[in-house]
Amino acid sequence: MATTTNPQPVAVLYPEIEAYNTGFLRVSDVHQLYYEESGNPKGNPVVYLHGGPGGGVSPNDRRYFDPEHYRIILLDQRGAGKSTPAASLEDNTTQHLVDDVEALRKHLNIDRWVVFGGSWGSTLALAYAQQFPDRVKAMILRGIFTVRRSELEWLYEKGGAEHIYPDAWDNYVAPIPENERNDLIGAYYKRLTGSNEDEKLACAKAWSAWEMSTSRLVLDPEVVKKVEEDIWALQFARIECHYFVNNGFMPDNHLLDNVHKIQHIPCTIIQGRYDVVCPAKTSWELHKAWPEAEYKIVQLSGHSARDLQPELVAAADKYRFAK
């Protein structure tokens, strides 16, 4: 059943905490993944899957979870955050990331865990759960993204988002010659994987600024400033574009077609009504395919988790004792 809520005036996260364990997990000859644990070492395990792909985790991501009851596990996916090599596209596909999540579970000697994912993190959470349903106790999904062509065209081609943010759109298309704007993802990919380092960085910043500019209902200049960090912009833009030019390395409707594999898993889906990055239509289609899942539309909210903090914390609280 769908419910509609209004956002709380103040979003209350759990207090800041430090990780009690950090490490690197080597998953191939190329890739080494950063992970960390915080909260209660004997608590209910929860893994946080970040967005992008390429976005990386931050200390605030620990704060959705009750530290007395959760063993909180954060992971930087291949090429993202503190994982090395930064921005690497080699051996970097959805299947690789699914295998990495499972490898981390085994490395940490966890039998089953709660899976939390937003935006691209929801994509990875769905892909992981559909492959390893017996390892998932419950799911919390935010800003649903299934990497279908229609979703990519909406935001990154002339699919509709440019009508809402025409000023930011002009900055997004500026690095691409007019005769290549019929395939913006392809044009960006050519430059983000090219040999001209100045052009690569300029395109990385333009790509990243477009998504940051559209991610919140009310523009947050501090979020947009993140694109000024060269390494982060390259990680975010290169990895995203790599996945998008390859349609997420999945058949177009794969995640919705395979919902039947996870319908028995308790799940809460949280969606901002005015999410431009991952419009509500996709979450609604997931809800229709998975009516057993709790579904919440949050009014006056965009894509960013910051717009949805009270609902995300409440959902995490709900599954503190999931078995």
Whole-angstrom distance, CA of residue 191 vs CA of residue 188: 5
Catalytic residue list contains 242: no
What's the token pair of residue 51? 């967005």
Catalytic residue list contains 275: yes
Taking a C-beta distance cutoff of 8 angstroms, is the pair 228, 221 a contact? no
Q: How distant is the alpha carbon of residue 292 from its chain centre? A: 23
| Catalytic residue selected from 100, 242, 303, 307 | 303
> How large is the angle between the packed helices 184-192 and 197-214, nearest 10 degrees?
140
Whole-angstrom distance, CA of residue 3 vs CA of residue 294: 8
Contacts of 205 (CB under 8 A, 6+ apart): 227, 228, 233, 237
| Catalytic residue selected from 213, 275, 301, 304 | 275
Amino acid at 283: S
| E-state strands within the chain | 2-5, 21-26, 32-39, 44-49, 70-75, 113-118, 136-142, 267-272, 294-298
* Residue 16 exposed, middle or buried by CB count within 10 Å (0-12, 13-18, 19+): exposed
Whole-angstrom distance, CA of residue 117 vs CA of residue 140: 6
| Catalytic residue selected from 119, 213, 215, 304 | 119
Quickly count: other Cβ atoms within 10 Å of residue 174's Cβ: 10
Instruction: List, as one string, the DSSP characters of 163-212.
Output: HH-HHHHHHHHTTS-GGGTTSHHHHHHHHHTSS-HHHHHHHHHHHHHHHH
What does each C-alpha distance from 169 to 80, 102, 174, 273 come to in angstroms? Answer: 25, 38, 8, 21
Catalytic residue list contains 303: yes
List beta partners, residue 22.
Answer: 36
Task: Enumerate the active-site residues.
Answer: 119, 275, 303
